[in-house]
Amino acid sequence: MNNFSSLFIGILFTVAFSFAGIVISSQIQYGKLTPVAMEEGEMTYPRPPVGIAEQGKEVYLSMGCIYCHSQQVRRKGFGADFERGWGNRQTVPRDYIFQKRVVLGTMRTGPDLMTVGERLTDPSWHYLHLYDPKLTVPSSIMPQFKFLFKTQKVKDAPSANALKFPAGYEGAPAEGYEIVPTDRCNDLVHYLLSLKLNYELPEARFSE
């Protein structure tokens, strides 16, 4: 019995010590990272998130986007991220210092989204893609998020944010009706458009 207690305490101490070591070492290495400027007097990066993009991140998480998309550009030689146009430099710990929850992701069923706000700048593309991904990417296996939209009668004139479908699309609304994004959808699109890596850091330059 005494041997079992000693063994249990030893295992518990080993696990606790290892866990504490990981947490403490990470804090020592990355916990004091702050925004930096490439040259004195220039703007510091990364910038803290502002506006409804932060609300959109909550929608992103609740929709499970993290399970199919990553947000990390791997360094050259560790994948084809650069060749696919997913970024002009690798991501580094400093890029994530303002994120309360870092969504690096674990799978890439779809493309990496760390720079999607640079690659796809038209909001209309994102709205159509969320409504029916095959409208923008015919080979897409992403599910439709039609529940983020609502159908309503057209009043005096079509709404400015009403979806514009290609001719012959079977999912288009009946005549006299239109499909518009909900507030949650707007928040999500704002978040996607905010995902950019258009700045350099001392430890991560575009030329690398």
pLDDT, tens digit (0-9, with 9 covering 90-100), for 149-174:
999 999 989 999 999 999 989 989 99
In terms of pLDDT, which residue wins out, 19 or 60?
60
Q: Given a cut of 90, is residue 22 above it in pLDDT?
A: no
pLDDT of residue 169: 92
For tokens 């999912």, name the residue. Answer: 171
Structure tokens belonging to residue 140: 């897409």
Mean pLDDT of 6-17: 69
* Cross-strand pairs, 149: 181
Q: Distance between terminal CA atoms of the chain?
A: 59
Q: Domains plus CATH for the chain? A: 51-194 (1.10.760.10)
Mean pLDDT over the full length of the chain: 89
pLDDT of residue 156: 87
In terms of pLDDT, which residue wins out, 86 or 21?
86
Structure tokens belonging to residue 73: 């550009």
Report residue 40's pLDDT band, with 50, 70 and 90 as the boundaries: confident
Nearest Cα to Cα of residue 131 among 106, 154, 149: 149
pLDDT of residue 107: 85
Report residue 79's pLDDT band, with 50, 70 and 90 as the boundaries: confident
Cβ atoms of 56 and 187 closer than 8 Å: yes
